[in-house]
Each structure stands twice: as C-alpha cells, then as structure tokens.
Amino acid sequence: MSLSISLAINGRQHDVALNDPRVTLLDLLRERLDLPGTKKGCDRGQCGACTVLVDGRRINSCLALAASMDGAEITTIEGLAEGDELHPVQAAFIEHDAFQCGYCTPGQIMSAVGLIKEGMAGDDPERVRELMSGNICRCGAYQGITEAVLEAGRKAAENAQPQTGNPDTGKDAA
Amino acid sequence: MNKSFKPDVNAETVDGGAHVARPHDSAIKHVTGKAIYIDDMAEPAGTLHAYLGLSTRAHARITSMDLARVRAAPGVKLVLTGGDVPGINDISPAGLNDEPVLAEGEVKFYGQPVFCVVAETRHLARKAAQLAQIEYEDLPYATDVVAAIEAGHDHVCTPLTLKRGDVDAGLARAPNRLKGEMRVGGQDHFYLEGHISMAIPGEDDEVTVWASTQHPSEIQHMVGHALGVPSHSVNVQVRRMGGGFGGKETQGNQFAALAAIAAKKLNVPVKIRPDRDDDMSITGKRHDFHIDYDVGYDDDGRILAFDGTFAARCGFSADLSGPVTDRALFHADNCYYYEDVRLASRPMMTNTVSNTAFRGFGGPQGLIGAERVIEEIAYKLGRDPLDIRKINFYGGEGRNLTPYHQTVEDNIIGRIVEELEESSDYQARRKAIVAFNENSPVIRKGIALTPVKFGISFTATWYNQAGALVHVYRDGSLHLNHGGTEMGQGLNTKVAQALAEEFQVDFAMIKITATNTGKVPNTSATAASSGTDLNAMAAVNAARQIKERLVDFASEKYSVPKETIVFEPNRVRVGNQVFSFAEFIDQAYMARVQLSAAGFYKTPKIHWDRATGKGRPFYYYAYGAAVSEVSVDTLTGEYQVDRADILHDVGKSLNPAIDKGQVEGAFIQGMGWLTTEELWWDDKGMLRTHAPSTYKIPLASDRPRIFNVKLADWSENREMTIRRSKAVGEPPFMLPVSVLEAISMAVASIGDYRTCPCLDAPATPERVLMAVERLKAGA
C-alpha cells in the first residue's frame, strides 16, 4: 500500500509517498530524506538520541509513525543554526563542554530547545536535570549539559522580555 | 570553518597549543548534527544489509539447522553459516582459536550468532532471520561465576598469581584476622552508537571496512584471517565512534568480518548494524567478579597479610579475560601496602557472552576488593574507614613495593587525600551526618572518602607503541594521522594540540584525519587510557624529524648556526630574519626538503614477566580521590547522591576542559556500575537486561546534587610523558567507590556502625534494602 504525507521539515515542505505505513519518523528522516543528524540509539524510545520537535513539542522520533506526521512542522538538529550562526543552545553546548562522543548531542540539544520553550524548568538546575532525564548521555556529560541548558534558558528569557515571539524555537517558526 | 584562515604571525602564543582548554575538534559538527558516524554515511548504490541469527540455548549441540525458508524469503541475497567463512572461522583476539565468527556444531551461550542473512534491506534481513529452524540437544551449562566454579568449569586462559613475602605465616602471625567474600556485578557499555560495520569490496583480494572500533589494526587482522587474505588487502577506517568504553576494543571483529565476507562473496557493499537488543546480547561486557579475601591486621588497622582470590565470569571464550583478570590483581592493592600478600585470579569459563574490556579493564574489580577489606577492618575496629586507609597507604621505608614487585615511586595520594579532606570539609560533615542519623528514623545518611591509584601502560608490554603520520603542505597547513581512535575522549584534539605546540602553529592549521590502517600500520587498541600518551608522542616524534630537516636546511641556506633557528608562533626565526611558517615551508619545499614523516614512540622503562609475577608493568600511576555523601531511605532502599567532591591527578593537563569532562563522565559511569546497572541472566542463560527499559544507566537526574570536580593543578608527571601530562580515561572510573561506601555507611548506621553491611555491587535499592533488613535483624 502507499500513503502520501506532506510535512514541513526545517522550514522546507516535503511531499512523501510512503510504501510502508510502519516507517517511523526517524527512519523517514535518516534513510529517505538524507537528514542523518538525528540519531538512532535504542530505537525504542528510551534513550532520547532521536529527539526532534514536532510542532514545537519534543518527541522521540523512533516511536512516531511518519504516517501520522501529515501537516506537521518538524525541526531537526540540521534546522537550528542560521548558516554559520549557531542557535544559542548549540553555542551553549560548546561553551560548557556538554558532550564527549557527540552521539546523543543532537537529541540533547533538541530536547533542550523544547524544554526551554516549555518554560517549565526556569533557572532551577534540579528541574533541568529532571526534565532532561529522557536523554541518556553514556559519556556522562550531564554537568555540562545542565549548565548549557541553564545558560541558554537564561539568555532566551532575557531576549524574550522586550520582544514578542519566541526566539528560542529557531528557524522552526519562520 | 577556516576557508580563508590566516594565522597571526605576530602572536605571542599559538592558538590551541598545549595545556589550554580548547573545545573538542568536532564540537561544531557535533552540535549541528554534521559529525558523521558510519550509519550516517551515504550508502553506495546497491548496498545490502546483514542481520544475525542467534542461538536460543546456553549450551547445546546443534542437531539440525534448516535455513531453506530463510534463503527463500523476499529480498534475501545470501545466508552465511560457519562453513561459509572462506578463511578461518575464528576471531579470537587472544589467538586461542576459541571464538568462531559463526558457531558450528555447538553453541556456548544464549544469543551466540549461528548464521547471517544478507538482504536488500535491514527489515527484510531481519524478517528472514526469524524463519530459521534450528534443533538443539541441550548440554550442561553454568552462567554464574560461582556456579561455574562448582561445576568444575575450565579457566578460559592461564590464571595469574602474585606473591610477596609469606602470606600464610603473615596470616597466622597477625593479631586479628577476617575472612569474607564479595560479589561485583558486570556492566554493559551501552555506547549510544551501537556496533556497525560497512564493507566495500575492491579489486583482487581488497576490501575496505568502515568499522566502529577502538582497534582498527585488529579488525584488519581479523578480517584478513576470516577472508584468508593478507593484511595488506584489508583497509580499515575509523572517523569516530559514538562511545566505546572498551566495548569496541575486540567486539567489532565479528561484525566487520561478516560484512567483509558477504561483501566479497556478493561483490557489493554490505552493512551490518545489530539493533540494540542484539548488540547487548551478542557483545561482551565488564566481567562480574567473585572475590574471596582472608586478611590479617593489627589493632591499628594496619594490613599485615592479604590473601585474595579474584574469580571472574569470562564467558565462553578468552577474549581479553587474561589481561583483564591480571589487571584486577594489579589493582587489588589500590593505594595500600600489604606486608605479606598472595593474589590469585580465576578466569572462569561460563556459558555467557564472552566478557571483554571495559574502562578500567579489571582494575576496578580488583580495587573494590581492597576497599571492601578496608571497610571491614574499620567497622571491626569502630573507626572511620578513612583512618584505616591512611594508615595503610604506600610510603615510607620499606613500604613501597607492590605485590608485583614494582616500586611505587610517584606516590601523591597523601597530598591528594589531605587536600580533598580539607576542601570538602569531610571531618565536620561526617560528624554532622552521625548526629543526623541518631535522630532520623527513616532517612539515613552516609559519607565516604576513597582513593584511587591506577597503573598506566598496557600490561602486554609490546602494546605500548604507536605511530603517527604528519605531512606539512606547501601552504603551511598540516595533515595529522595517528593510530589512535576518537570515541569522544578528545584524543584527536589533544594530539593536535601537542603537534600545534611542537610546530608552533595554530590548531586550525592542522587537519586531523580518520584513523586508517593504510596510513599508520600495526597500531595498538585505543585503550588502557594510553591514547594520548602514545599517539601524541608519536606525532611529536614525526614533527621533530621534520623540524630537524628544516633546521638543517635553514642553517645551510642562511649560513646561521642551528641554535639561532627558532619556531615561534606561526613564524620561524632564522638568525636575524623572520618568515611566516607558510613562507618558510615553501622555501624548504623549493629546496627539496622532505616535509612528511612517520613518527614512532615506545614507552620506556616498562617490563613484565608474567611467569615470575615480577617487573615494572606500569610506566607511572595516576591518582585521585572522591568524597561522596548520600541519603538512603531505609524503608525502600532508595537513595540519592547529595554531593560528590573530587580531586583528580592528570599530571600537567594537556587540555583541562577535556580532562575534567573525562573525570566527571567516568564518575557518573562508575556510579552506574556500582548502583543501578544490573545485568540479569535468567535460568535458561538468556540475558534479560538487553535494552534501556530494564538496564538502567545514570540519567541527568541521577547526577550528584552538588558536584565539585577539581584537577590537581600542581601535579606534574615525574616521567617524561607528553608535556608531563597523565592518562585520564580510566583512573577516575573508580572514584565512585565512595558512593558505594557512603551508602554502606548509611546502612551501617542501623547497627550503630559496628557491623560492616558488606554491600555487594551493584547496590540496587533492592540490595540496599536487603542489607538494611539484615542489619535490623542482627541488631
């Protein structure tokens, strides 16, 4: 059977014919749309390496069926930076040495962008750690990850004060 | 990122030289998703995908194997069994011929690969693999180390005994004696990027293999062995791994061999990537240990005699179990001098996956035995375990010889512990905790300070060599290649920093290229924390060869003495003249100076005679200490780590940011080993914890609430290592023994600190609760 969906990924519209309704969003991104930045860690929704934003909300793309994404707006790690200019969360991850092997990093960053947008963590490291706990880092870079998320969160809050809109969603809103 | 990069020829220091905290060289690629792992590489047209068929018995004879339905399944191009291996069906890294690529006739653990399907897609290969019909005749098996001893299983390799003095006489003489046992669990690596290999066939015998491996030379060797072709026909490349931790030292051999065999048979590229459950079932882990100890000590807690037996669950084959169990013995002293000592290893064959390297390589399991003994003595004498530790430290006249007859020459544990005790306010906090526990019926707290001494060098002395290849191009840019592999530890960054410092050029001038067996041959595994120690020295050696030629050239051309030629930041001073580095290099090129060199390094001073148990296996030691404080809920056994303070020795750090990250990460990973990570085999020998749903590694929320990590910035390696730094990968992994002992203290409070809770690892809440109940019953 074949099923067609239309979705926006990093601001670009894609029309995709799915020859198998069981294709996950993760496999769609990695294997069919040449977007391998989103990683496959456990393929069962327990490690967070495949985190992407769907309509601004963070999800495990390995547990989402591509077929259910018709009309969705998706942001992946490839869609955060503006050219050579890094998204504030990306810059904060480098600044705070928030990774080692880098394999969980795209998921961590997407999760952090989602978390900051949710506005649930504020400036509380405990909350950040709890709300980032769906993203496993086997290298154990949690110290840097927490600091990076806190700093990026603070910057987003400062920037949000005088402006309207939500700068921390990056290109997604464009 | 540096299309028009112009180095500053007037700079006072180079950008990104030694001892600076520059970010990981792939940092921008990591945060933008542009860092390429093997599964992210564009697949060549026609790439096929392989999937493994696994045994469903712990030990059995295969009476029949019908793969007709597998072969007939849609999309299937090839089905391989052991008999299809063109060369030798063996990938034993120990050379013992005990580890088939695919099992033939007999399976020795549940999950052992018996056949391999190659199909158009992974999905089709996976579906087809389920169609096999295999009949077994069960044979006796033992999966647990103690059960294996009871069943009289063989050792997988020759055990080791270390001896000094007369332990029996020492035990008989000692005023106090204690005997005990401890179980220490294994650990799955859970590298976020699982194993993967992609093989691309070439002309004649040639094949190129991309593998996620810490040991490309061994992959090359094993692929050649399995294909029946010389090593020169196999090229192995590694750009980076998404974590390794020892799990990719030997465990990639099987996947690489199968991908290569299939690729050569079909003459198309073949990729194999087991899914997470299979990866965890098929690949070896940290060895579980059972430790028996018999110890004599005096009334001050000084250990007089130590007799320890360290038995390990090795799995069905030797793999690296010999050196792993050896290293357990090398660390069963930790920082402590034993007057009379005997340490014995028992590498037990078990019907489980063959256990392998994992950060610390047996060292942690040896060290934890020493720390358990300290704890037992302390509780018996009613003292703070820290006092017992200090009294037993190496040091002073006649107290510096290890059980393997190496003299401890660089001991700084006294200063490390003293500074940490002070900076963490250990004594006051311990008092406060004892007071808190008196009035707290449910929540109990504990605190512990534990030290680490870890020996640096491969105990296989010949492994302590490395090569590097350095080219300088006419524009002054450099190409760096070395035998080490990047798995997130920042090796490439540190080696490039050492090279930048040596040449006095900015880091950005150096391109670090993928590890490639065609560029640097006969490399050692990136393991034993030695990556930077070995490879940076080899890179610097290459640089010095080139520099020597450059100095000769300039001295002759400008008629100046050699000592007036100085490499300054991005420029070269030749007598009274100064040239930019690029300008100078171009002059050398025009004068036909060779601008490329292969560097080499071998660690000096080390030697080891396993037969006599004597030598100097380690070039030097790395030290560290940690204080951990925990709260335990005595009704549920749950706990949290409230605070951890660490002071760790990395010598004169090549990159303090990377080193600090290693220390933090190792602590978290070691904490997982000792607390939540539990491997569980059922009575059929099946590993039940084969996914993150049941196998719990630490999360961000498990991190100590307060986490103070400091490098001992005053430390300098007394040996001539690369810029006086020390290795960092493994030593800090043992710092969280302090977490286990802090939990132990909280539990001990129930018995008024008179009984050692003898908490085994991992101290899961269940095990903590059992210890609580044990102490309550005893009180």
Q: Which of B4, B31, B701 is the best residue to mutate to test the A interface, defined by the most A CB atoms within 10 Å of its own CB? A: B31
pLDDT, residue B3, reads 52
Quick one: A126 and A71 in the same domain?
A: no
Quick one: A126 and A153 in the same domain?
A: yes
CA distances from A111 to A105, A107, A134, A149, A171 (A): 10, 6, 9, 10, 16
Chain B contact for A116 (CB, 8 A cutoff): no
How confident is the model over A128-162, as pLDDT tens digits?
999 999 999 999 999 999 999 999 999 999 988 75
Least confidently predicted of A165-169, B33-37, B116-120, B293-297: A165-169
Quick one: A24 and A65 in the same domain?
A: yes
Residues of chain B in contact with residue A30, where contact means CB-CB under 8 angstroms, are: 39-40
Residue of A nearest to B280 (CA): A42
Average pLDDT across chain B, whole number: 97
Residue A52 belongs to a domain? yes
Quick one: A108 and A135 in the same domain?
A: yes
Residues of chain B in contact with residue A61, where contact means CB-CB under 8 angstroms, are: none
CB contact under 8 A, A136 and B669: no
How confident is the model over A8-67, as pLDDT tens digits?
999 999 999 998 899 999 999 999 999 999 999 999 999 999 999 999 999 999 999 999
The DSSP secondary-structure symbol of B525 reads P
Catalytic residue list contains B397: no
pLDDT, residue B1, reads 38
Across the interface, of B30, B660, B703, the residue whose CB is closest to A142 is B703
Residue A167 belongs to a domain? no
- Can you give the C-alpha Rg of chain B in angstroms? 27
Domain architecture of chain B: domains with CATH: 27-35+465-602 (3.30.365.10), 142-403 (3.30.365.10), 407-454+611-779 (3.30.365.10)
Q: Which of A94, A101, A124, A132 is the best residue to mutate to test the B interface, defined by the most B CB atoms within 10 Å of its own CB? A: A101
Tell me the pairing of strands A3-9 and A73-75. Answer: parallel
pLDDT, residue B779, reads 56
Chain B contact for A85 (CB, 8 A cutoff): no
Chain B contact for A76 (CB, 8 A cutoff): yes
ipTM of the complex: 0.96
Residue A53 belongs to a domain? yes
CB contact under 8 A, A146 and B703: yes
Residue A135 belongs to a domain? yes
> Which residues form the domain of A73?
3-78
Residues of chain B in contact with residue A79, where contact means CB-CB under 8 angstroms, are: none
- Looking at residue A60, which CATH number applies to its domain? 3.10.20.30
Final residue of a structural domain among A31, A53, A78: A78
Quick one: A153 and A92 in the same domain?
A: yes
Quick one: A46 and A8 in the same domain?
A: yes
Quick one: A93 and A49 in the same domain?
A: no
Residues of chain B in contact with residue A38, where contact means CB-CB under 8 angstroms, are: 33
Residues of chain B in contact with residue A84, where contact means CB-CB under 8 angstroms, are: 1
CB contact under 8 A, A38 and B245: no
Percent of chain B with pLDDT over 70: 99
Chain A contact for B395 (CB, 8 A cutoff): no
Chain B contact for A21 (CB, 8 A cutoff): no
How confident is the model over B321-335, as pLDDT tens digits?
999 999 999 999 999
Chain B contact for A140 (CB, 8 A cutoff): yes
How confident is the model over B497-514, as pLDDT tens digits?
999 999 999 999 999 999
Residue A16 belongs to a domain? yes
Residue range B694-705: mean pLDDT, rounded? 96
pLDDT, residue A169, reads 43
Residue A174 belongs to a domain? no
pLDDT, residue B475, reads 96
pLDDT, residue A10, reads 98
- Looking at residue A152, which CATH number applies to its domain? 1.10.150.120
Quick one: A68 and A110 in the same domain?
A: no
Quick one: A100 and A154 in the same domain?
A: yes
CB contact under 8 A, B32 and A145: no
Average pLDDT across chain A, whole number: 92
Number of domains in chain A: 2
**CA-closest candidate to residue B436, choices B587, B714, B631:** B631
CB contact under 8 A, A133 and B699: yes
Q: Label residue B430 by pLDDT band (50, 70, 90).
A: very high
How confident is the model over B344-378, as pLDDT tens digits?
999 999 999 999 999 999 999 999 999 999 999 99
CB contact under 8 A, A76 and B699: no
Distance CA B308, CA A82 (A): 61
Distance CA A139, CA A127 (A): 21
Inform me whether the pLDDT recorded for B80 exceeds 60. Answer: yes
How confident is the model over B382-427, as pLDDT tens digits?
999 999 999 999 997 899 999 999 999 999 999 999 999 999 999 9
CB contact under 8 A, B276 and A49: no
Residue A153 belongs to a domain? yes
pLDDT, residue B2, reads 47
Q: How many alpha carbons lie under 13 Å from residue B275 in its C-beta half-sphere?
A: 15
Q: Which of B1, B5, B32 is the best residue to mutate to test the A interface, defined by the most A CB atoms within 10 Å of its own CB? A: B32
Quick one: A29 and A52 in the same domain?
A: yes
pLDDT, residue A173, reads 34
pLDDT, residue B713, reads 96
Quick one: A58 and A92 in the same domain?
A: no
CB atoms within 10 A of CB B411: 19
CB contact under 8 A, B191 and A101: yes
pLDDT, residue A49, reads 98
Residue A12 belongs to a domain? yes
Amino acid identity at B24: H
Q: Transcribe B23-86 into DSSP letters.
A: PPTTHHHHHHT-PPPGGGSPPPTT-EEEEEEE---SSEEEEEEE-HHHHHSTTEEEEEEGGG-S
CB contact under 8 A, A138 and B667: no
Quick one: A72 and A9 in the same domain?
A: yes
Where does residue B265 rank: exposed (0-12), middle (13-18), buried (19+ CB within 10 A)? middle
Sign of CA dihedral B59, B680, B757, B391: positive
Q: Label residue B778 by pLDDT band (50, 70, 90).
A: confident
Strands, E, within B239-328: which ranges? Answer: 270-272, 289-297, 303-315
